[in-house]
Amino acid sequence: MKGDRVEIVVDAGGEPRTYEVTATRAGRRVEVSIVRGVVTVSEVTRGGSVTRTARFMASRVLALVEHPAPRPAQPDDLPFRLDGGRRLPDRLPDEA
């Protein structure tokens, strides 16, 4: 989703360097894979085509942090009770 980003901190000899890959357009996402000692971070379109790729030796990667884009709250994000999983009522009924 647009706004998703991955931050990669790499040991560059004497000092750490920070790189960032961001989903720049609507419908794109950022994917991370680690295969055979290589960390690959790619920006991918809806159809699966890779638009940008960053590759790093896994032994040199100090940190890899995924930052999802802020998303608005959905109706099913409302709090639930622990007993039975039902939604909390808006108001409690008056006890008489």
Tens-place pLDDT, residues 23-47: 888 888 888 889 999 999 988 888 8
Residues forming beta bridges with residue 29, ordered by sequence position: 44
Percent of the chain with pLDDT over 90: 8
> Any idea what DSSP says for residue 95?
P
Other beta carbons within 10 angstroms of residue 56's beta carbon come to 20
Cα 50 from Cα 42, distance rounded (Å): 6
Q: Return the SS3 of 60.
A: helix
Tell me the pLDDT tens digit for each residue of 60-95: 898 888 887 777 777 666 665 555 555 655 666 665
CB 8 within 8 A of CB 57: no
More confident residue, 11 or 68: 11
Helix (H) or strand (E) holding 79: none
Q: Return the SS3 of 39.
A: strand
In angstroms and rounded to an integer, the radius of gyration of the C-alpha atoms of the chain is 21
Residue 19, pLDDT above cutoff 80: yes
Instruction: State the pLDDT at residue 36.
Output: 92
